[in-house]
Amino acid sequence: DIVLGARSAVFAPIPTERLRLIVVDEEHDSSYKQETVPRYHGRDVAIRRGQLAGCTVVLGSATPALESWWNATRRGVATLHQLPERAPGLSLPAVRVVDITEERRHQGRSNHLIGPTLAAGITQCLQADGQILLLLNRRGFSSYITCSSRTCGWVLRCDHCDVSMVEHRSGAVRSGSFVRCHHCETAIRLPSQCPDCGKGVARLGLGTQRIEEELQERWPVLAEAAAMHRVDSDSMRSMHDFHAALGDFAAGRTRVLLGTQMIAKGLDVPGVRLVGVINADTAASMPDFRASERTFQLISQVTGRCGRGSAAGRVVVQTLDPTSRPITQAARHDYAGFARSELADREALRLPPAGRLARIVVRDPKHDRGEADATRIATQIAEIAGQDTRVRGPAPCPIARIADSFRFQVEVIAPSASRLQTILGHAKDRLLLEPAARIAVDVDPQSLL
């Protein structure tokens, strides 16, 4: 029997004596981590089930999680098998990293988000009847709404969260614009003028809807039915929509597939001759120690969708920082080099996988009470932990308020999993982590936002 499924399939009721093989495909994918109670990582559960059953566990990825690479190359608890070449007859595509700031200097007054290099590639590919994959890992139209006056300073922020609201378009007309918070889902009409000074509003930043509009304006053929699909969580309302879009692309009816990370892996379409990364900096700018790893993985994965047919493929990566290490190493297809340099940085700071991390988040509608609880937790855990463990915080979370609750975090960085569990066990015994409704403990967090 074969059991095939998503993250929860790891709990399939297969008798231990019958379990012979577990395969975790794209094991680096952060979606294997469940972020709500009960928190678990599907990859780690799979490894543990394999240990209990005495069976083989295969973790497959072109860009392994650094924890998995560490376990294989440093700890020796896993065996590393590498496929250094693509299937016979196929070569990795050439990747060009483009400084989008420099390109814009030569565009004159044009405010195009697709620079000249990528635009030329799109034109050539369309003329040659090739297919194109365009990645922008940010949905919506404009990600930042502010006053058009340079002296006012007003920014449209969510009333319930400490984030700016994102403009979305309803249909093809500007009058259908509204703004939404991507954290509490509050949605309102886009104001026509600044509420502070009465002047107009400026739409800054970008999203997949804005790129879709630019593509259809500059290449009218893409405005035809099914010529282009936008794939993000706004346009793909169901799995049927998603599979229909991928089916059109695989059949050649769709020329351009524009989307978020949903399109970055799993696609095997021989007709793709060009991959464009609209903005490679979206993940790299996040206040998270895994930001470089995610940037490298995303660029590498989407690059791998190109050049799978008889025609050679090429990739254009637009960035504000063409010297960025994860971007340049992804362009060279140098996973080993990236892993080596990134792990050196993690070791210096004792961050995972060199250490083990637990993040404790305190949520409270009252700012002072939440801060006091976080201070109490940090102080007492520091007393429990001793010299071999670092306790950082308390500090406001990068997103300090969501859905009217203030958020404070405490990070506990221990030298080993057993040491971390001992510390958390003592904290639990002292009732430091109660009530669970307001205090969340996340071991090996995949996001620090």
- In this predicted structure, what is the pLDDT of residue 449? 87
Task: Give CA separation, 120 vs 123, 125, 135, 218, 384, in Å.
Answer: 5, 9, 17, 11, 61
Amino acid, res. 363: R
CA distance 199 to 280: 33
Question: Average pLDDT in the 289-298 region?
Answer: 95
pLDDT at 78 over 80: yes
Which run of H or E residues covers position 165? none
- Cα 267 from Cα 245, distance rounded (Å): 12
Rg (CA), the chain: 24
Which tokens belong to 328?
A: 């340049």
In a 3-state reduction of DSSP, which class is residue 396? strand
Give the residue from 349, 346, 431 showing the smallest Cα distance to 384: 431
Tokens 């409704």, located at residue? 437
Question: If you search the block for the tokens 């200097």, which residue do you land on?
Answer: 105
**Cα(267)–Cα(133) distance, integer angstroms:** 10
pLDDT, one tens digit per residue, over 318-339 is: 999 999 999 999 999 999 999 9
The model's pTM is: 0.91
Judged against a pLDDT cut of 80, whether residue 175 lies above it is answered with no
**Rounded average pLDDT over 418-443:** 92
- CA 174, 180, 181: angle at the middle one, nearest 5? 155
Residue owning tokens 């006056």? 149
Contact between residue 66 and residue 342 where contact means Cβ atoms under 8 Å apart:
yes
For residue 185, CA distances in Å to 36, 158, 166, 179, 291 come to: 18, 10, 10, 10, 24
Angle at 316 between CA 314 and CA 320, to 5 degrees: 160
Mean pLDDT of the chain: 91
Q: Position of tokens 């939404």?
A: 180
- List the domains of the chain with CATH numbers: 7-60 (no CATH), 94-138+220-344 (3.40.50.300), 144-204 (no CATH), 356-443 (3.30.70.600)
- pLDDT of residue 172 exceeding 60, the answer is no
Reported in sequence order, the residue ranges of 16-65 that DSSP labels E, i.e. its strands, are 21-25, 33-34, 40-41, 56-60
pLDDT for the residue numbered 108: 67
User: What is the mean predicted confidence (pLDDT) over 356-370?
Assistant: 96
Averaged pLDDT for residues 79-91? 80
Mean per-residue pLDDT, 345-366: 96
What is the bridge-based pairing of β-strands 439-443 and 256-259? unpaired
- What 3-state DSSP class applies to 201? strand
What does the pLDDT read at residue 27? 95
Band (176; pLDDT cuts 50, 70, 90)? low
Please check the confidence at residue 23 and state whether its pLDDT lies above 90.
yes
The first and second tokens of residue 30, run together, are 């952060």
Helices 367-385, 417-429: axis angle to 10 degrees equals 120
At 109, is the pLDDT very low, low, confident or very high (cuts 50, 70, 90)? low
CB contact at 8 A, 221 and 128: no
Say what percent of the chain tops pLDDT 70.
97
Percentage with pLDDT > 90 across the chain: 74
Per-residue confidence (pLDDT) for residue 74, from 0 to 100: 92
Rounded CA gap, 316 and 327, in Å?
11
Q: Assign residue 198 a region (left: φ > 0; alpha: ψ between -120 and 50; beta: otherwise).
A: left
Give the chain's end-to-end CA distance (angstroms, integer). Answer: 40
Model pLDDT, residue 173: 44
| Cβ 412 vs Cβ 420: under 8 Å | yes
- The mean per-residue pLDDT over the stretch 181-193 comes to 91
pLDDT tens digits, one per residue of 25-69: 999 999 999 988 899 999 999 999 999 999 999 999 999 999 999
For residue 251, the tally of other CB atoms under 10 A from its CB is: 11
pLDDT of residue 286: 85
The average pLDDT across 183-187 equals: 92
